[in-house]
Structure 1
Amino acid sequence: MDIFTMVKAAVTVRQAAEHYGLQVNRNGMALCPFHNDRHPSLYVSDDHYHCFACGEHGDVIDLTAKLFDLRLYDAARKLASDFHLAPDKPLPESIRQKWKQKTKAQQLRENEQLCFSVLNEYRRLLLDWKKRYAPQAPEDSLDKRFVEACHRLPWVEYQLDILLQGDSYERSEVVSELTADGYIRKLQARLREERYHE
């Protein structure tokens, strides 16, 4: 097993962030160390981080590399050292088992992250459409993209708020609704199409 796989299996982004001095609140938010952040805009979960202000994102190795200005390999080695992982020894059985089997909670987290990521991209698209396709004069006919942006933006922002700040029950309800009938996958495919046609 290579050092990257071992580190990602053994150390969560949140563990590393807190170990290196970031104060992550109960909603997973922290002040972003990559820009002058006055209000927490860095979302930290177990397997990734994302800043809503400056756009920085990645996994535990990316975070460490960025924090200490290291190459990815050196960041992985630093994590292995700081968290007392021996690259020449196999992972403990407990970690290997945990890594192999997706628990219900892990599946929910993955679905939650998918929903969050897709909705966040949709929100950016809608904000762009609202600005780009706004009527220039009262007599102009409304572009369907402008109408969609006005109609869907409040809903998308509400869903994102729940995924960011809701309790586990509220988040799981949102995820269930969004994954029902493959809605979030269809939206993801549509966003891919929009990127392709840009």
Structure 2
Amino acid sequence: MNVFEAVKQSVTTRQAAEHFGIRVGRNGMCVCPFHADKNPSMKVDRRFHCFGCQADGDVIDFVSRLEAVSPKEAALMLAQAFSIPYEDKEPPRHRKPRQETPEQRFHRMERYCFRVLCDYRNLLRRWKRDYAPKTPDEDFHPLFVEALQKQDYVDYLLDVLLSPDMEERAALIIDCGKEVSNLEIRMEELAAGDTAGRRTDHTRSTAAPER
């Protein structure tokens, strides 16, 4: 089985989209990365189809277009990313690593910023709900305050990333790239802290009572 057949049998377009940082809803809809899409108009399952720009194809077509590479390169990228075995009839060749073009780097950073900011917005919404004061006299939780202060700002940044104006999107990525990177690190640290806290609580709850 060659790499094209192996990839198409093993990976859905939805799995590939999520691997490359595209957020997919439970209904399989996502924001189309191939046009200025403000509302999710692309359906991703085994194949993909955009009801806005009519982009359509299989998982290899999707990655080929997303990463601006040939179908063969897209298939090899997917095989490596998902550890898919295949038979390669071509003799092995030593090739130089593919140089990332400025356009590819821009789109990669754009998807990265969009993914991190979406995750942060979801956290802010959860904090605003879970840490809201229960009584008028209760002190505001720091995460509740952060949600109040940051939610409108994050919504604005996401609106800019969905803007059809490429210069505006590029300016945001340049100005906020470091901030987004720090934000991702902070969210990972918060998630690690939550996990450790839950493990500690579970250990205490399941510990044998003293006699």
- TM over 0.5: same fold? yes
Q: 1:35 to 1:126 in 2, by over 3 A?
A: same
Q: Does 1:65 align with 2:61?
A: no
Q: Secondary structure at the match of 2:31?
A: strand
Q: Does 1:193 align with 2:189?
A: yes
1:100 aligns with: 98
Identity %: 26
Stretches of structure 1 that go unaligned for 5 or more consecutive residues are: 8-12, 14-31, 58-62, 69-74, 80-84, 91-95
What TM-score comes out, normalization by structure 2 length?
A: 0.54
Contact between 1:130 and 1:150, CA under 8 Å: does it hold in 2?
yes
- Aligned positions, number: 142
Q: Secondary structure at the match of 1:186?
A: helix
| Equivalent residue letter for 2:30 | L
| Equivalent residue letter for 1:44 | C
After superposition, what is the alpha-carbon deviation per residue over 1:47-96, rounded to whole angstroms, capped at 9, x for unaligned?
A: xx9x869xx99xxxxx351669xxxxxx65898xxxxx689797xxxxx9
1:2 aligns with: 3
1:72 aligns with: none
1:126 aligns with: 124
After superposition, what is the alpha-carbon deviation per residue over 1:110-159, rounded to whole angstroms, capped at 9, x for unaligned?
A: 11111101000000000000000001111110100000000000000100
Contact between 2:113 and 2:173, CA under 8 Å: does it hold in 1?
yes
1:146 aligns with: 144
What TM-score comes out, normalization by structure 1 length?
A: 0.57
Distance of 1:183 and 1:157 partners within structure 2: 15
Q: CA deviation at 1:183?
A: 1.9
Q: CA deviation at 1:3?
A: 2.4
Structure 1 or 2, whichever has the larger Rg, is 2
Distance of 2:180 and 2:121 partners within structure 1: 13
Runs of 4+ that moved beyond 6 A: 4-7, 85-90
1:177 aligns with: 175
Stretches of structure 2 that go unaligned for 5 or more consecutive residues are: 14-23, 50-57, 63-70, 76-87, 195-211
After superposition, what is the alpha-carbon deviation per residue over 1:22-71, rounded to whole angstroms, capped at 9, x for unaligned?
A: xxxxxxxxxx99749xxxx631215xx9x869xx99xxxxx351669xxx
